[in-house]
A and B are shown apart, each in its own frame.
Chain A
Amino acid sequence: MVRNQINVDLYARNAELAVRNKTLSLLHKLDQVTLSTLTTEEMTGQITATLAKEFLYPFVGIGVCDKRQSTFEWMSIACPDGKSTICERRAYQKSFSLKTIHNACTQVIASHRRAELSSLHKLLEPVIEKQLIDEVSTKGQIKSVLVFPLIVNGACVGVLAIGLNRSKKDLTKYEQDTFTPLLGLVTIALQKAMTYSSLVETTKKLRVANRRLKELDALKTEFLSIASHQLRTPMAAIRGYVDLIMDGSYGKLSDQQTEVVGKIHSSVEGLIELVGQLLNVSRIESGKTVLTIEPIDIVAIATDVTGFLSIKATEQKLNLVLTPATVVPVMGDAAKVKEVLMNVIENALKYTDQGGVTVSFVDEPKAVRVNVTDTGIGLDKNGIDRLFQKFSRVEASAANHPGTGLGLYVCKRLIEAMGGEIWVESPGLGKGSIFSFRLKKAPTALQKTQKTV
């Protein structure tokens, strides 16, 4: 008697545990589906199939809302054997407006409350043919339909609908225990799938936009190159003739004429410089600039450049000083490094009214840093951030200091192509600037490589 009672008690406990175990096992199965599938169609397909098979429900459906377009669409419908026509995608792959009044889905979505129906018709019409609805209803002996809203962050994103061959009160304990966690899991799965679908769509659009931008960029570069070449020839002719006029080849000029012709001359010089820079930029951006990277003596190059620009500095009554240093060779293209130094030091002289410019070197562990320090107009944070961008000019100075806004952009591209860095620092407006760039020290085994930028 006692043994029997023990058996009975143990059985009852076991039975409860068995139900819980089944619930957990099902949820785990669905969890695996969530983890292993990405698209909404695939995920909802697997979930509905699993539920239909597990609980032998004659009908299981998941539908989602598209709030932007105010429509609802069935993503997946399943039955235990998967053979009814209604389970085929083409049978239900049609969306309908959320404003459709006599449809249970739209009512559940609007109210965020579950509904219990006596037949599938109110759920599935007008999207699915009446004949198909009758077929699955008869085959499955559907007596009731439960419709659950799927809610994410307070918004209803879809519904889970279950057709039963009995009434709701005849649900097993297993089913009742499973519904709540099941709904939560389905909601999360759906949210994940919808997020993924949205990401895929956005990525596609970005890819198209990116391709278009690249095409436009290539067109722009090509245009720049053609235009620059076309402009060079006539400007060279203009400069030539202006030089001849200034030389007196066409007769002596009055003071006024000299002044005017002088202005023409400097304008043409500026245009020629602009075209040259544009050509430089277009060559760099189209990958046509070839750099010869080899060990170079940066102090020697800097000495050359400062020597060349010392005349200009003297004309402006500025000091141009090179601090002597002994540093190891660095890896770079000598001609391009010279171009960079020329640009940076010329800039420094241009934007300095009094005092001067100093070129110095710092021996770092793996690189050599070159500093070009001036006592000029300085930069604020806004200016520093934009300085190395194309066509960027410091606003306050643009009117007084003509320029293309391309020089520093070209310097940056060239230095970076050589594996270096370039940057600027300034204590503030009116307090001068330090333009710096660093290039890596040459390895002990000297190497010469060619690189296309």
Chain B
Amino acid sequence: MIATAQLVERIIKEQELVIGPLALREARKVKGLTVKTDGGVKLTGSNKKVLGDLVKQYEKLFGPASLDVCREAVKALLPQVAKEDVPDILK
């Protein structure tokens, strides 16, 4: 099983490819999510909620395309994550 943190890192990395440093800036606005300078993340509180909020943060600004990017980013990893840890928005 892989940690939710890995999914978060992957999403931020993919978003960086599309919007550059803006991805990090928006990620830092998500409550419960700490983004380190090396790209590593720390989640506090409900991992599932933090992940869901991150996706919604991007969707709020950039619409459905950003949701697709988030989903594509984690597609390969989702089978290795416990289903209960995956927010509905990513399913």
Which one, B33-41, B43-51, B70-78, B82-90, is touching chain A?
A: B70-78
Given A56-B77, A143-B79, A166-B79, also A12-B65 (CB < 8 A): yes
In the complex, are the beta carbons of B80 and A15 less than 8 A apart? no
In the complex, are the beta carbons of A11 and B19 less than 8 A apart? yes
Which of A15, A21, A165, A174 has the most C-beta atoms of chain B within 10 angstroms of its own C-beta? A15
Given A12-B65, A14-B18, A15-B66, also A172-B77 (CB < 8 A): no
Q: Which residues of A contact B61 (CB under 8 A)?
A: 4, 7, 11
In the complex, are the beta carbons of B75 and A8 less than 8 A apart? no
Q: Give me the 6 closest cross-chain CB pairs, A-B, nearest first.
A: A8-B63, A11-B62, A12-B65, A172-B72, A165-B79, A56-B76
A141 in the interface (beta carbon within 8 A): yes
Given A11-B18, A14-B19, also A141-B65 (CB < 8 A): no
Please name the residue on chain B nearest to A139 by beta carbon.
Answer: B80
| Number of B interface residues in the complex (CB < 8 A) | 18
B69 in the interface (beta carbon within 8 A): yes
In the complex, are the beta carbons of A165 and B66 less than 8 A apart? no
Given A11-B19, A11-B65, A15-B18, also A172-B75 (CB < 8 A): yes
Which of B61, B65, B68, B77 has the most C-beta atoms of chain A within 10 angstroms of its own C-beta? B65
Q: Which residues of B contact A22 (CB under 8 A)?
A: 17
Give A residues with C-beta under 8 Å from B. Answer: 4, 7-8, 11-12, 14-15, 18, 21-22, 55-57, 141, 143, 165-166, 170-174
Tell me the minimal C-beta distance from B85 to chain A in angstroms: 16
Which of B14, B65, B76, B80 has the most C-beta atoms of chain A within 10 angstroms of its own C-beta? B76
Q: Which residues of B contact A4 (CB under 8 A)?
A: 61
Tell me the minimal C-beta distance from A323 to chain B in angstroms: 87
Tell me the minimal C-beta distance from B65 to chain A in angstroms: 4
In the complex, are the beta carbons of B79 and A141 less than 8 A apart? yes
Please name the residue on chain B nearest to A80 by beta carbon.
Answer: B76
Sampled A-B contacts (10; CB under 8 Å): A8-B62, A11-B19, A11-B66, A15-B68, A18-B14, A22-B17, A57-B76, A141-B79, A166-B78, A171-B75
In Å, the complex CA distance between A166 and B91 comes to 13
Tell me the minimal C-beta distance from B76 to chain A in angstroms: 4
Please name the residue on chain B nearest to A21 by beta carbon.
Answer: B17
Q: Which residues of B contact A172 (CB under 8 A)?
A: 72, 75-76
Tell me the minimal C-beta distance from B56 to chain A in angstroms: 15
